[in-house]
Structure 1
Amino acid sequence: MQNSRTDLRVAVVGLGAIGTRVVEALDRGIDGLVLAAVSAQHPDKHKIRLGKLTRPPAFLPIEALAEVADIVVECAPSKLVRSIVEPFAASGKIAVILSAGALLDNEDLIETAKQHGGQIVVPTGALIGLDAVTAAAVGKIHSVRMITRKPIRGLAGAPYILENNIDIEGLTKAQRIFDGTARDAAKGFPANVNVAVALSLAGIGPDLTRVEIWADPALTRNTHRIEVESDSASFSMSIENIPSENPKTGLITALSVIAHLRKLCAPLRVGT
């Protein structure tokens, strides 16, 4: 794809299962976009893979990305969200983030984006139905509940499990290990329930959105069910996500980011 004056330059932070797929899709070509740079820990680990791309991007530290890109895609640990997003929000640019839970600890970034004409985008990710929730929120939503069920290895190491000494490795049947707000779920399971935060931001907020998390040794896929009661509709939706190379993340998450990037310059956009 030839670069042009209208091409938006994209930087990707994090080259795990999701970031790698996004980089490869950009390299194959997305109309109106060009891969400008990437950033990740341990650059040497990724040099061979990046060298195989049609147009290898620059490998830069996070603090240099806003100078060379119009859009940043965050596929990194949640602790890095602020350092990734703030320069783009303050420069009137776009930040696409997957670590939605980190927004709850950095809500001032939204005000920064507002003041400087920037935009923070939380893509649909691994959850179905955000368009319907967003539409219902224009009216009155009475309640939102999400029930997440994951295989044991998809929950291993979560802070909530460690802090409460919950033994999930020895489970022989499904067990509910958490029932609370989306805000508390984000704190206890930062690598697992970004979808819950995205759902809460689309609807009635992180303190009113209820979340159940189940550990199920019989499962091989991450499953999410949302139940919504509103003045315009009552609906429930379920999705079973095939895990990516990272068992905590569904394969569809990367595809959701790619779909969003394709929408940016598309002549036809479907969905809210």
Structure 2
Amino acid sequence: MSGQSNGRQPARVAIAGLGAVGLDVARALDSGLPGCRLTAVSARDRDAARTRLAGLATPVEVVAIEDLEPLADIVVECAPAALLPEIASPFLKAGKIVVVLSSGALLAHPELIDLAKTYGGQIVVPSGALLGLDAVTAAAEGEIRSVRMTTRKPVKGLLGAPYLVANNIDISSLSAPLKVFSGTPREAAVGFPANLNVAVALSLAGIGPDRTTLDIWADPALTRNTHSIEVDADSASFSMTIENIPSDNPKTGRITALSVIACLRKMGAPLRVGS
């Protein structure tokens, strides 16, 4: 595949979106990530992006989204979910790799998966703020009977979510935990597009976005995003909990950027641990 390193030339990596995650990934690539080199960045405000990237050791082009594909073999999507088709389509049509953080948008745009199949591209969803996806993926090779996820977030991490606005759920002055949603990752991807990509990733690894169940709590006492998962399968039953420290963006955990960096490192590594 054209997006993979051949062992001699490092894969050219572009970043679409330069928020907290995109900037951390850019800095890691600039510091040196074996098998990869940063070649281009796109951002809503290109002048501001150039300023944010001024400290990099190696200058990098800041271009419009539509100009990214010729400049890279891999694109890392760190942008608002609505931009995923615009970012991913050119790379997939060129048989390249798209690393997707807005995994919820994949449910609304299944044609992207069709593009990958047709042209030999690949969509990669990093584990992000979730643990145990390898175990879920392995269990899915057998029979998974149920997957349940409970997410608890600080109030500021959920403020403004479309589901809360549409249902007139005011969490701004909570004094106790409140369950604000119970449903599926498919529903959550629409109602909480900036918050619950982890639930979609879990569902894609396991039994799908309609059979996975999800509860979301707003908790004024929390300072960390907390995800608990319970899986019942014919190969194993297991439960997992992770508490993620928020990044500069309260909707995103610090581990999300690290997950992308680990994903890129794994692509060209001589030893790869984990499926």
If the TM-score is normalised by the length of the shorter chain, which range does it land in?
over 0.9
Q: What is the aligned length?
A: 269
Name the CA distance, whole Å, in 1 between partners of 2:13 and 2:24: 14
- Percent identical across equivalent pairs? 64
Confirm or deny: 8 A CA contact 2:147 2:213 kept in the other structure.
yes
Aligned alpha-carbon RMSD (Å) = 0.9
Unpaired runs of 5+ in structure 1? Answer: none
Q: What amino acid is aligned across from residue 105 of structure 2 in structure 1?
A: A
Encode CA deviations 1:204-234: one digit per residue, 9 max, x unaligned: 0000010000000000000000100010000
Q: Which residue of 255, 259, 262 corresponds with 2:262? A: 259
- Measure how far apart 1:100 and its partner are: 0.3
Is the counterpart of residue 169 in structure 1 residue 166 in structure 2? no
Choose the corresponding residue for 2:226, options 207, 223, 236.
Answer: 223
Distance 2:123 2:246 in 1: 26
Q: Determine the C-alpha separation between the residues in 2 that align with 1:128 and 1:108.
A: 28
Q: Which position in structure 1 is the counterpart of 2:127?
A: 124
Q: In the alignment, which residue of structure 2 is the partner of 1:71?
A: 74
> Structure 2 unaligned runs (5+)?
1-6
Residue among 61, 64, 67 paired with 1:61: 64
Runs of 4+ in 1 over 2 A off after TM superposition: none
Tell me the CA shift for residue 250 of structure 1. Answer: 0.3
1:93 and 2:96 are equivalent in the alignment: yes
* Aligned with residue 194 of structure 2, among 171, 191, 194: 191
Residue aligning to 1:49: 52
Q: Report if aligned partners of 2:161, 2:192 keep a CA contact under 8 Å in 1.
A: yes
Q: CA deviation at 1:46?
A: 2.2
Q: Please, which of 157, 162, 183 is the counterpart of residue 159 of structure 1? A: 162
Q: Is the 8 A contact 2:179 2:217 kept in 1?
A: yes
1:35 and 2:38 matched? yes
User: Could you state the TM-score of these two structures normalised by the residue count of structure 1?
Assistant: 0.97
Q: Tell me if structure 1 keeps the 8 A contact 2:46–2:63.
A: no
Aligned partners of 2:239, 2:251: CA distance in 1, in Å? 23
List aligned pairs for 1:106-145, cutoff 5 A.
Answer: 106-145=109-148
Partner of 2:181: 178
Q: Which residue of structure 2 aligns with residue 206 of structure 1?
A: 209
Equivalent of residue 108 in structure 2, options 105, 110, 118: 105
Asked if residue 234 in structure 1 is aligned to residue 230 in structure 2, the reply is no
Which residue of structure 2 lines up, in the alignment, with residue 269 of structure 1? 272
Indicate the residue corresponding to 1:150 in structure 2.
153
Deviation at 1:5, TM superposition (A): 5.4
Residues in 2 aligned to 1:76 and 1:167: alpha-carbon distance in whole angstroms: 27
Compute the displacement of 1:170 (Å): 1.8
- Taking the aligned partners of 2:45 and 2:101, their CA distance within structure 1 comes to 21
1:72 aligned partner, one-letter code: V
The 3-state SS of whatever aligns with 1:51 is coil
- Equivalent-residue separation in structure 1 for 2:160 and 2:36 (angstroms): 37
Instruction: List per-residue Cα deviations over 1:148-202 (Å, max 9, x = no partner).
Output: 0000000000000000000111211111110001100111100000000000000
d(CA) in 2 for partners of 1:126, 1:101: 14
TM-score of the pair, normalised by structure 2: 0.96
Distance 1:10 1:232 in 2: 38
Task: Supply the AA of the counterpart residue of 1:136.
Answer: A
The Cα shift of 1:107 comes to 0.6
